[in-house]
Amino acid sequence: MFRFLFVALVLCASSVTAVAPNQMGMAFNDGVQKNNLKLSLGVSSENHPALRTYLAQGQFEFFATDRFSVRGNSGIPISSTVSGMKYYPLLLGGAFHLFPRFWFDVYIGADAGFVHIATPTLAASWSTRITPIVGATLYYWGIFFLEAEAGYSVLKYAEQAALDLSAPTYRVRIGFYL
């Protein structure tokens, strides 16, 4: 039984790694990224400590060229320091990759879009947000990657109430690569 499971696991792993052959060994790290897609899920820490919100976040990233990518992400709150605070970002952006199609990649970029925010004391509204980011990706096992990034969100919410949610943001994601 154990032998059967081991053989099945090896066959599945070999077929899965064929999806992204550019990550299989140093010979395939030739710098060609164009038309590849990355999908990931992770956790994001948003806002300053008094209004900190943690999000479950999903992201896609499509490489338009070998170094430039278009990305989008959104998230749903999983916890917040303010009870009853709602925080739903919908962002699009881009990134420039320094080491494309290599086992380790560093990138810079920005995300911009809208955030739906509601607090127990203020009415719900949509606010604009921009976040310059810097990050690093570690590719492993053929098609998987681990990604960490940091940025600074510039977000003014409820101009009449002068609530400023601008603060550092941190994200950690795991995903797969097509």
Per-residue pLDDT tens for 110-165? 999 999 988 888 778 888 899 999 999 988 876 788 999 999 999 876 555 567 78
Residue 54 CA to its chain's centroid (Å):
14
Mean pLDDT, range 42-47, rounded to an integer: 93
According to DSSP, residue 141 is labeled T
Sequence ranges of the domains in the chain: 2-177
Give pLDDT tens digits for 6-22. Answer: 454 444 444 444 445 54
Q: How many CB atoms lie within 10 A of CB 142?
A: 19
- Residue 61: is its pLDDT beyond 70? yes
Beta-ladder partners of 134: 108, 150
What are 153's two structure tokens?
A: 């969100």
pLDDT tens digits, 76-117: 999 888 888 888 999 999 999 988 767 788 999 999 999 998
29, two tokens: 């790290």
Distance of CA 115 to the CA centre of its chain: 16
pLDDT at 32: 66
Q: What is the mean pLDDT of residues 41-64?
A: 92
What pLDDT is attached to residue 13? 46
Beta strands 37-46; 86-97: pairing state:
unpaired
Res. 25: pLDDT tops 90: no
**pLDDT at site 96:** 96
Do β-strands 53-63 and 37-46 pair in parallel, antiparallel, or remain unpaired? antiparallel
CATH fold group of domain 2-177: Porin (2.40.160)
